[in-house]
Structure formats: C-alpha cells, structure tokens
Amino acid sequence: MNRDYYEILGVPKNATEAEIKKAYRKLALEHHPDRTHGDKASEEKFKEINEAYSVLGNPDKRSQYDMFGHNFERMGINQDDIFGAQGTSSIFEDLVGDVFSDFFGGRRNSKNRKIRGKDVEAVLELEFEEAVLGIDKEFTIKRTGVCDKCGGTGAKQGTRPTTCRSCSGAGQVYYRQGFLTVTKTCHVCNGSGYEIQDKCRDCNGTGRVLREENISIHVPPGVDNDSVLRIQGKGSAGHNGGQPGDLHVIIKVKEHPVFKRDDQNVIVDMFITYTQAVLGDTIKVPTLYGEEELNLPSGTDSGKEFVLKHKGVISPYDRRKGDQIVRVHIEVPKHVTERQRQLLKEFDEISLHENKNASKGIFDKVKDLFQ
C-alpha cells in the first residue's frame, strides 16, 4: 500500500538533502491545489509528496525511515506528525511560500499563524541490560515552555499586548510590484499582529522561558545504541498557541564486559582448555536470561561458534527474539609446572606414534614433493 518515499519524490536512496528539497519543490509546485484547480488525482499526489518530504526532508526521520521503512511509526512517530500542526501548508510555505505569495497575491493569511514548537534532543545513557530488557527511566531535560508570569503574552503583568501599528494587526503588509500585489509578513510584530509596550521581565517579552523538567519514559526492551525514542509534546512550546514540539531521546548504550551485541544477536566469548576441546565437556554459559549449559563435542576447534536459540535480544519493532552466539577459544596456559611439562611431552610422544599412520606430518609431505 505505502509507496516508497524516495520513489514518490523520484530521488535515489543516497540523494543529498539539497537534491531531496529540489525534487520536492518541483513536484509540489506541479501538483499544488492552487494550480490544479481541485483535480482529485493531483490533490492526492500533493498529499503524498508532502508526506514523503516531511520524512525525507528531516534527517532524523529520514534515518529512521531508512532503517525501519513504513514501520517507523512504531518507534513513536505517528501520522499526526506528518499532518499535524506543522501540516502540509506550513512546510510548503517555508519552502515555496514566497513564490506563491507573489503568484497568488498572498492568499494565505499569516496573522497569528500557529507555529509548532521546535523538537528538543536529549541523550539517555543506559546500561547494556537496561537497553536489552527495557526499563522505566527518569531524567532531566531543558526545554522552552510558556512563561508562567505573563501566560505567554510577553506583556508585563497587568498589561496587554496592543495592536501592531505597522500592520494594524493584520500581521502582514501589502505592496504593489508592477501589476502584482505582494504580501510580506510584518517585520515589526513578526506576523503576530501585536506589539508589546511593557515587556514581561521573566521572559523579556518573548512569552517563553527555558527551564529544566523531569521526564519519565518507558524504554522498550531491545533498543540499541543510537536508537531514537520520540515523546510527543515534550519539545519546546509552540508560538501563537501552536503545539509544542517533540522530545527526541537518543539512546546511548554502555559496553558490557561479557555481552556484545550484533543487532538482535548477543555474542559471548568463552575460553576453554585444550583438554576440554579435545575430550569435549559441558560448560556453563552466561546468557541475558541466566546460566545455560552448553555441550562441547569432542574435537572442538578454537573459534567454533555455537548458537543458543532465542537467547538474544527482543526486537522493539517486530518482537522477534535473536540468538546468543557462543564463540569458544582455546586458552593456552602461559606457565606450566615440571609435572605438567612431563605429561604434555609424554602426550606428544604418544600422539606422534598414534598418528603416524593416520596422517603424514608436514615435513613428510614436503619431502614427497621433491622426490
């Protein structure tokens, strides 16, 4: 059902940000409702283009999309975000707005336009086990919120913002250029239509303050290093009553002394003795879910890998569980006692005798070559 976003914009997977932007502008202009006069197919196409660009045009969302495809909303990105307060028109205006103001005489009224707040990023460091098994975490973030003192108006307590004298509250100014009427956002009030005479001291007239806030989040099991969890509405406050942005929590996972991670699989290196390798043995192996017994067959080579099914990490996307890979390595003793030395030599002599007929030594093979 869902068409590939790259395909929609007609760009290759490795397209640069500039290439994506260019492709979007071209297509959006072509299919813009103002030009296609209510053509249904074009309208659908226009929506599709905007949806694709709202993801590919944002580096964070793009990398999530690259990783998870259309399932990426499972990471917490939902469709509201695509057609939310920062909907098609505002993304569009940011990019092509001026061109259209010129073409269509400023059809859009930007007075008191609701503007969604900025997204905020925070880094959360987790222990290996916390990331693998999931955990509830509380931490502190800094984000811009609405000023409590003035309630976000920016005007000193007891006063109110007044109508902007430059634009008479329209938020935009008009002027003629040749036969066209051009509109621009009023630079005195930045489009709000209001002016502030006495600024609120707490926020210096901005209506917004930066503050620390405790956030508690549920980290689902299986998140990996550099995973991003999105928490809706916990970013900076919006302007003119716009929705707040989102909080992007970037997960950093600490290294573990025993467990290493390879996607959903866990790798553990185990050291065994020469005797265990030759004769075989049952060894105890640590897993994320407790100790497991592993049967080493006789004649196990160093570097051999054993798979413990479903002892890996649960995928936060499709709930599938990976395996644990046990790599065994033969540990060569660095110091031996005199008795050990004797026994090893004896072992060697017997081995030479026993194996003589079974396989020729390397020197015999070389000799054969030159005969």
Which residues contact Zn ion (rule: CB under 5 A)?
147, 149-150, 164, 166-167, 186, 188-189, 200, 202-203
For Zn ion, the closer CB: 92 or 194:
194
CB 56 within 8 A of CB 62: yes
The residue (of 188 and 267) whose beta carbon lies closer to Zn ion is 188
Taking the complex as a whole, how short is the minimal distance between the CB of residue 6 and Zn ion, in angstroms? 41
Q: Which is nearer to Zn ion, 209 or 313 (CB)?
A: 209
**Contact 302/328 with Cβ under 8 angstroms?**
yes
Q: Which is nearer to Zn ion, 164 or 237 (CB)?
A: 164
Nearer to Zn ion, 63 or 163 (CB): 163
Residue with smaller CB distance to Zn ion, 118 or 184: 184
Could you tell me the smallest distance in angstroms from the CB atom of residue 152 to Zn ion?
A: 7
CB of 200 to Zn ion, least distance (A): 3
Tell me how far CA of residue 360 lies from CA of 12, 344, 350, 356, 364, in angstroms.
58, 21, 15, 6, 6
User: Long-range CB contacts (< 8 A, 24+ apart) of 99-102?
Assistant: 99/29, 100/32, 100/34, 101/182, 101/183, 101/184, 102/177, 102/180, 102/182
Q: Reduced to 3 states, what is the DSSP secondary structure of residue 106?
A: coil
Asked whether 258 and 286 are in contact (CB, 8 A), the reply is: yes
Min dist. Cβ of residue 236 to Zn ion (A): 15
User: Exposed, middle or buried, 352 (CB in 10 Å: 0-12/13-18/19+)?
Assistant: exposed
The answer to whether residues 173 and 184 touch, using CB atoms and an 8 Å cutoff, is yes
Minimum distance from CB of 243 to Zn ion (Å)? 20
Judge contact between 41 and 101, C-beta under 8 A.
no
Q: How far is the CB of 95 from Zn ion (least distance, A)?
A: 24
For residues 139 and 122, give the distance between their C-alpha atoms in angstroms, rounded to a whole number.
10
